Copies of this chain bind each other. A is one copy, B any other.
Amino acid sequence: MANKYVPTKILLEESELPKAWYNMNAVMPEKHDPALNPATLKPCTVDELKGPFCDELAAQEMNMTDEYIPIPDEIKDFYKMVRPSPLIRAHFLEKVLDTPAEIYYKFEGNNTSGSHKLNSAIAQAYYAKKQGLTSLTTETGAGQWGTALSMACAFLGLDLTVYMVKVSAQQKPFRKSVMETYGAKVIPSPSYTTEVGKRILAANPTTGGSLGCAVSEALETAMKTPNCKYVLGSVLDHVILHQSIIGLETKTALEKYGIEPDLLISCIGGGSNFGGFIAPFIKDKINGTAKYDILAVEPPSCPSLTRGKYAYDFGDTGKMTPLLKMYTLGNGFTPSANHAGGLRYHGMNPIVSKLYHDGYISVNSVEQTKVFDAAVMFAKSEGILPAPESSHTIRAVVDQALKCKETGEKKKIVFCLTGTGYFDLKAYEQYNNKTMTDYIPTDEDLAKGFATIPDIPQNK
């Protein structure tokens, strides 16, 4: 295998498309603490989760036993249009860096949603449709998830209402246009369409909104609309489950060409791409047989893992969601508006949180001006304009490759390029005009967020 010729762009056959998703919960040596019903502080039952969520998604969320969960044919047929996605050798980035490292990236941006979000969007819309629902609600921050779900709902004939963080809707008017072209109703959040939105606006009429606040509005609207459920694009375990297709394809491609990775890297916001990317690699890591390290990358402006607390917290500002045990900055935390990309969520997926807590993965944080230095270097050498979120990963990869240059190590670095930056050009303009700045919250800033973490016995 060692001398097999490896093409620049490793493409899998349609027959190599995964037939089942990978469920990390089934192989965790110690399961993460269960979601709690905030009213009772007891573990949520599947039936309780079926309140806001689709039946099948609630069941997937609670599945702690099945390592593989079959992908329905209808979803596979959709995947076949856009997947398998390529694993690309970054020959030209390596050359620019003059590094002995080998760099590979799994490129998830080659679809109109511009990111990996479509992998879960189509699955969630499919289960909603199968259950006989006629509409869905969701929130979106950077806009990738909202676009992906709009596409999936248009494909399956479901109505969709998207609460889009107001500041993001203003900065990215065309994200709104794409979703509307796909037939979605897009409402800048906070809005006067919900009670929680009205409360937030009464308290702070000029707020630009936050993801936690948009979640609350979407949830409230789903609860009061007949035949409608709430879905979301990150944080929960079933989202990570669907995103495991990224890691499964990556693993197949690497094994096909006998490439043994030394390091797997991806950025982390709520955990959706990171969790999916590392999913099939985690078992060997847990068993101690893996030769590779796994690195998550986050922005210092929203440092959930690097500076957050491991505690039960709400997923939203309106305190309507189940309580999740996770690394959190507090449901009231809002990152500085000068932070360009996504990765703005206060919390973190429970599996990823547990893996970090138990030492299976490590985390770095990288500042946004340095992130954009790397983004432009990548765009020029590899031809793809990366999303700001993905560019955090690229920065970390570049730093690792430069370290290899110093040490002479021929590390094989594999990363997930989650998406493209075509709707993030305001941020690139700031970078080009040198008006982009970095922001690191002080301990006092963080203390305000931590104060919103619920004061419950489980957090003592």
Measured CB to CB, the residues of A under 8 A from B are 7-9, 11, 13-15, 77-78, 80-82, 88, 91-92, 110-112, 114, 118, 151, 154-155, 174, 177-178, 180-183, 376, 379-385, 420, 422-423, 425, 428-429, 431-432
Q: Which B residues are in CB contact (< 8 Å) with A7?
A: 13-15, 80
Residues A82 and B155 in contact in the complex (CB < 8 Å), given A425-B174, A425-B178: no
- Please give me the residue from chain B that is nearest to A111 by CB atom: B383
Partner of A181, one of B88, B111, B432: B432
Q: Are B432 and A155 in contact (CB under 8 A)?
A: no
A420-B181 Cα distance, complex, nearest whole Å? 14
Residues A155 and B425 in contact in the complex (CB < 8 Å), given A80-B7, A180-B432: no
Q: A81-B383, A177-B425 are in contact. List 4 more A-B contacts (CB 8 A).
A: A151-B379, A154-B379, A155-B380, A174-B174
Q: Which B residues are in CB contact (< 8 Å) with A420?
A: 112
A422-B77 Cα distance, complex, nearest whole Å? 25
State the copy count for this chain.
2
Residues A379 and B14 in contact in the complex (CB < 8 Å), given A77-B91, A80-B9: no
- If over half of A's interface residues share one DSSP class (helix, strand or loop), that class is named, otherwise mixed; here it is helix
Q: Are B81 and A380 in contact (CB under 8 A)?
A: no
Residues A82 and B383 in contact in the complex (CB < 8 Å), given A425-B174, A425-B177: yes
For residue A425, give the distance in angstroms from its CB to the closest CB of chain B.
Answer: 4
A384-B178 Cα distance, complex, nearest whole Å? 11
For residue A172, give the distance in angstroms from its CB to the closest CB of chain B.
Answer: 10
Q: Are B112 and A379 in contact (CB under 8 A)?
A: yes
Residues A177 and B14 in contact in the complex (CB < 8 Å), given A80-B8, A91-B77, A155-B380: no
Q: Are A81 and B77 in contact (CB under 8 A)?
A: no
Q: Are A111 and B376 in contact (CB under 8 A)?
A: no
Q: Are A88 and B92 in contact (CB under 8 A)?
A: no
Q: Which B residues are in CB contact (< 8 Å) with A383?
A: 78, 81-82, 111-112, 118, 151, 155
For residue A103, give the distance in angstroms from its CB to the closest CB of chain B.
Answer: 13
Q: Which B residues are in CB contact (< 8 Å) with A11?
A: 11, 13
Q: Which B residues are in CB contact (< 8 Å) with A15?
A: 7
A111-B92 Cα distance, complex, nearest whole Å? 16
A180-B431 Cα distance, complex, nearest whole Å? 11
Would you list 29 pairs from A and B whose C-beta atoms are within 8 A, ordered by A residue?
A: A7-B13, A7-B14, A7-B15, A8-B14, A8-B81, A9-B81, A77-B91, A81-B88, A81-B92, A81-B383, A111-B384, A112-B383, A112-B420, A112-B422, A118-B383, A154-B379, A154-B380, A155-B381, A174-B422, A177-B428, A177-B432, A181-B379, A181-B385, A181-B425, A181-B432, A182-B379, A182-B380, A422-B422, A422-B423
For residue A78, give the distance in angstroms from its CB to the closest CB of chain B.
Answer: 8
A440-B385 Cα distance, complex, nearest whole Å? 38
For residue A105, give the distance in angstroms from its CB to the closest CB of chain B.
Answer: 11
Q: Which B residues are in CB contact (< 8 Å) with A178?
A: 385, 422, 425, 428
Residues A428 and B8 in contact in the complex (CB < 8 Å), given A88-B81, A92-B81: no
A381-B425 Cα distance, complex, nearest whole Å? 28
For residue A160, give the distance in angstroms from its CB to the closest CB of chain B.
Answer: 12
Q: Which B residues are in CB contact (< 8 Å) with A78?
A: 383
A385-B178 Cα distance, complex, nearest whole Å? 8
